[in-house]
């Protein structure tokens, strides 16, 4: 359904030759701020340099604060170059 909606936007509002729709296979986890960080890491690995984090990003009801994903994502600095991402294993 999401792909069909984006296709409709591309056909109705954008110049098709300038758009590349490339989704990634990730199910929603409804993990709020942690999922926002996970999404930004995945998207950066796909080459994105910016991400819009919504008011209640991947939240469920009122489990997380309304802007918690936005405020927690500003505490982490992810390098702009995906090749420089470092992951520590425990």
Secondary structure (H, E, C), the chain:
CHHHHHHHHHHHHCCHHHCCCCCCCCCCCCCCHHHHHHHHHHHHHCCCCCCCCCCCCCCCCCCCCCCHHHHHHCCCCCCCCHHHCCCCCC
pLDDT means per 10 residues in the chain (90 residues)? 85 90 78 86 80 81 86 69 43
Give dist(CA 53, CA 33) in Å, integer: 9
pTM of model > 0.85:
no
> Which tokens in the block code for residue 28?
């929603």
């Amino acid at each position: 359904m999401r792909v069909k909606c984006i296709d409709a936007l591309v056909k109705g509002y954008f110049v098709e030759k300038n758009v590349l729709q490339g989704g990634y296979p990730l199910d929603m986890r409804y993990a709020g701020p942690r999922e926002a960080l996970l999404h930004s890491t995945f998207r950066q690995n796909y080459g994105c340099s910016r991400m819009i984090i919504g008011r209640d990003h991947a939240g469920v009801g009122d489990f997380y604060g309304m802007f918690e994903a936005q405020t927690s994502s500003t505490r982490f600095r992810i390098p702009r170059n995906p090749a420089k991402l470092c992951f520590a294993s425990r």
